[in-house]
Chain A
Amino acid sequence: EAGVAQSPRYKIIEKRQSVAFWCNPISGHATLYWYQQILGQGPKLLIQFQNNGVVDDSQLPKDRFSAERLKGVDSTLKIQPAKLEDSAVYLCASSPLGGRWDEQYFGPGTRLTVT
């Protein structure tokens, strides 16, 4: 079974530029998550989708971050405009149903550097 796929793996941009990340979850998984991991810290949830609907986006900085999951499969996370403090690894995860008993599986991440 293929795992969670993410691209690109690395991205370097200047502040105030925009950037987009792509995630393809494990086939058949209904729930998709985006996490942000700043160096030296544990990942922090940004947004959770159940199929193509948003379940939790309470920690998403909505003035600059946006995410969508069209057709309930692939997802994109966008940052516009980027700030220096957005430098981090962006991790995508998926789980079968999204219920309280679900195990989450993570992709390899996209490492973003904002200069």
Chain B
Amino acid sequence: GIQVEQSPPDLILQEGANSTLRCNFSDSVNNLQWFHQNPWGQLINLFYIPSGTKQNGRLSATTVATERYSLLYISSSQTTDSGVYFCAVAGGGNKLTFGTGTQLKVEL
């Protein structure tokens, strides 16, 4: 099956800082999603981005499908951005394979 690697595994930022999270995957994909899992465990959809670039407020994402990676950018981070960020991909079907996540902590 598809392998998904995320980096860094842990990240601590001061409020207002910018960051880049990376997701590498081992095969071609038809679906790639970024999620934020909040402290209550809810998976919140951030981006559906199998290719190209999207922006939503302080967040943006880029997927370069031919090189098998995706990047999530967080600008002007806030304490509410804390939590785990997951990248998930699907190949031929729609079975999502998740990475191990990036644990982000934003401090005042």
Contact = CB atoms under 8 A, between A and B. Distances in A.
Interface residues of A, number: 26
Interface stretch (B11-19, B57-65, B71-79, B95-103): B95-103
B1 to A, nearest CB: 10
Interface residues of B, number: 25
Interface stretch (A41-49, A61-69, A73-81): A41-49
B88 interface: yes
Given A101-B31, A104-B33, A48 B94 contact: yes
A99 B92 CA distance: 9
A89 interface: yes
Q: Which of B41, B45, B88 lies at the interface centre, i.e. has the most chain A CB atoms within 10 A of its CB? A: B41
Given A42-B86, A55-B93, A100-B93, A108 B98 contact: no
Interface of B: 4, 30-31, 33, 35, 40-43, 45, 48, 50, 86, 88, 90, 92-101
Interface of A: 31, 33, 35, 41-45, 48, 55-56, 89, 91, 95, 98-106, 108-109, 111
